[in-house]
Structure 1
Amino acid sequence: THQDEISILVDVGTNAEVVLGNREWLMGCAGAAGPALEGGVARMGMMAGPGVVDKVIADPETGEFRIRTIENKPPVGICGSGLIDLVAQLFLLGMIDLRGKYVKSKCGKRLKQVDGVNHFVLVFSKDSGTGNALTLSQPDIDALIRSKAAMYTILTTVTRMINVSVLDISRFYIAGTFGFTIDPKSAITIGMIPDLALETFKPLGNTSLTGASLALLSGKAREEIYKIRDRVTYVELNVNQEFMNLFSAAKFIPHTDRSLFPSVRAWSSA
């Protein structure tokens, strides 16, 4: 609120709260992004905790997957940041197509069918902390694509409403514990956030708790909070006719308009 450049603050979760602006103006909105971004839809999805996969990296040469779990415990599930990493890696390796559908010839032994549904095995049962394989089903990916499309559409809608391009954003602040662990490169790859320079993205951690603490402990901070609140113009996205058109276009990886994501094309061919 003290800068001339346009910045955006996004609190990512089941709902996405967004504030866009600079020292002259502020615009806020909120929309449903869906529980998939918090790992709440995937069969192996879990809230962050010991043994939960929060990072996935694939070797482009061998196609082998490496995971990181919280507290380095045996893997028991996957949280939102790990899920986004996984789908991004699957796309970059050609294991899923732009619709998010599995490409059988690329997935090899990791693709299994359970009751007629394709499942990608991230962790085999022998390596799992539960004794069961950790898998990502086709419906899991479909749910994530809807959630990421909603997230991207919220961002593009609010910028279009004031004739600002997402490329005009100089700082992209990501709030929440989930925002602190998300890899912007993975989020860009799946088309969840705009294709901006990676240094544009700034994780902030639990801003709700920090803000509440400041409000309780500092009268000066409370005054500034009230001033900021009074400056925010709130817009309703559910009355915006363009939203659904933009949402449909965003339900592909990364998007139907690939020119919006030039970095992803470069990463795919790397």
Structure 2
Amino acid sequence: MAGLCKDAEISEDDVFLMAVAGNTAMTHLFLGLPPQHIIREPYIPVVNFPNTVTAKDLGIRIRGTARIFIFPNVGSYFGGDLISGIIYSGLHDREDVAILVDVGTNAEVVLGNRDWLVACAGAAGPALEGGVSKIGMTAKPGVIDRIFIDPSTGEFDLHTIDERPPRGICGSGMIDLMAQLFLAGMVDIQGKLVPEKCGSRLRETDGIRRIVIVGENASATGAELSISQVDIDSLIRSKAAMYTILATITRYVGVTFADLSKFFVAGTFGSFINPRSAITIGMIPDLLETTYRSLGNSSLGGVAMVLISRDALDAAAAVRDRITYLELNVNQEFMNRFSAAKFLPHTDPSLFPSVRRMVL
């Protein structure tokens, strides 16, 4: 807080109101509450709706009587950061049906409009953030965020953040890579590398195949940048989980993907993702690309809103009470759909007509 106040050129004693939004675990840690029950059946947090506290109560170095508003959480895997994101997106005020997806450690989803809201969350994030590969990184300078493969020559055209020499790949880059490998025929519908299409880029060590993205002479690290079949398999599972989460929640409330007027994507992941690539691998539904809208850090946006708007502050509590939470950990229908989604783009190609046209 001292650093923030210094940057804003104000005294710590000038801060009268503070807002905090985080996932359920971070909210518990912030309040000094034990978080272990969150990951144990029946997955019940210690608190879902924290009371407003003072800075003095928590030892926060601002005015002691300053009020701290902590966004409520809905369940173990749906925290106040998503409530804040809902406020920022305006999803809770829309007349038409829309969906908000935030991909972090978990994929968290809320579907609805001004009349109803349904939420769920599941483990899909680590691979989609580039977290399953040795060269996976969060988005930063030198990290590959976009890839194009010429299907006729097999040449890779890479883009890195800030156009620095490549040193790794982020989640959006992984999705681009998988989509391009599929369109170029370098992986099949099961996500398996195809040797005759990969050509000289294919390597194998201890029986595990990998494809070289950047040779050692062109990388910033001096080592080749490659992804293995194991990395690809993990990405396939993550994208399947993401699509299954979306399919399960929409089916639960009786709407189709075509009913969605807007598809909000939040978080750092959402800031860089190419919807066309995500559709190509079957991670998100085959909708018009104009349906998708990136929100960036929606949690931070919602926090800022409640600090300057009484309406937004009141809405945070009201939104939490309107949400019906769907627990995927005990949802058998989710597991049944998950197996069908572990193909590119899906075992049912009719769900992705635009992709089918590209690969014919």
When the two structures are superposed, what TM-score results if normalisation uses the length of structure 2?
A: 0.73
Name the CA distance, whole Å, in 2 between partners of 1:195 and 1:144. Answer: 19
C-alpha distance after superposition, 1:214-260 (max 9, x if no partner): 22333222112222222111111122221111000011111111110
Name the CA distance, whole Å, in 1 between partners of 2:306 and 2:228. Answer: 44
Name the CA distance, whole Å, in 2 between partners of 1:144 and 1:172. Answer: 22
- 1:85 maps to 176
Deviation at 1:61, TM superposition (A): 2.7
Q: How does 1:97-176 map to 2 (within 5 A)?
A: 97-176=188-267
Contact 2:145 2:161 in 1 (8 A): yes
Q: How does 1:196-211 map to 2 (within 5 A)?
A: 196-211=287-302
Name the CA distance, whole Å, in 1 between partners of 2:303 and 2:261. Answer: 27
Deviation at 1:3, TM superposition (A): 2.3
- 1:5 maps to 96
Number of residue equivalences = 269
Matched residue of 2:317: which SS?
A: helix
Name the CA distance, whole Å, in 2 between partners of 1:5 and 1:215. Answer: 24
Matched residue of 1:97: which SS?
A: coil
Match of 2:155 among 64, 72, 97: 64
- 1:177 maps to 268
Counterpart amino acid of residue 39 in structure 1: G
Name the CA distance, whole Å, in 2 between partners of 1:53 and 1:140. Answer: 16
- 1:50 maps to 141
- 1:214 maps to 305
Contact 1:14 1:33 in 2 (8 A): yes
Contact 1:10 1:175 in 2 (8 A): yes
- 2:316 maps to 225
Contact 1:10 1:174 in 2 (8 A): yes
Please identify the structure whose Cα radius of gyration is greater: 2
Counterpart amino acid of residue 283 in structure 2: M
Q: How does 1:251-266 map to 2 (within 5 A)?
A: 251-266=342-357
More displaced, 40-49 or 211-220? 211-220
Name the CA distance, whole Å, in 1 between partners of 2:266 and 2:321. Answer: 21
Matched residue of 1:125: which SS?
A: coil
Q: What percentage of aligned pairs have identical amino acids?
A: 61
C-alpha distance after superposition, 1:114-170 (max 9, x if no partner): 222111011011100000110010000000001011111100001111111122112
Contact 2:103 2:125 in 1 (8 A): no
Counterpart amino acid of residue 118 in structure 1: R
Matched residue of 1:161: which SS?
A: helix
Contact 1:14 1:36 in 2 (8 A): no
- 2:58 maps to none
More displaced, 109-118 or 134-143? 109-118
Matched residue of 1:126: which SS?
A: coil
Deviation at 1:266, TM superposition (A): 1.4
Match of 1:186 among 277, 292, 297: 277
**Within the alignment, does 1:21 sit opposite 2:112 as a pair?**
yes
Deviation at 1:13, TM superposition (A): 2.2
Counterpart amino acid of residue 205 in structure 1: G
Name the CA distance, whole Å, in 2 between partners of 1:40 and 1:128. Answer: 19
Contact 1:46 1:52 in 2 (8 A): yes
Report the RMSD for the aligned CA atoms in angstroms. Answer: 1.1
Name the CA distance, whole Å, in 2 between partners of 1:181 and 1:68. Answer: 12
**Within the alignment, does 1:240 sit opposite 2:334 as a pair?**
no
Stretches of structure 1 lacking an aligned partner (at least 5 in a row):
none
Runs of 4+ in 1 over 6 A off after TM superposition: none
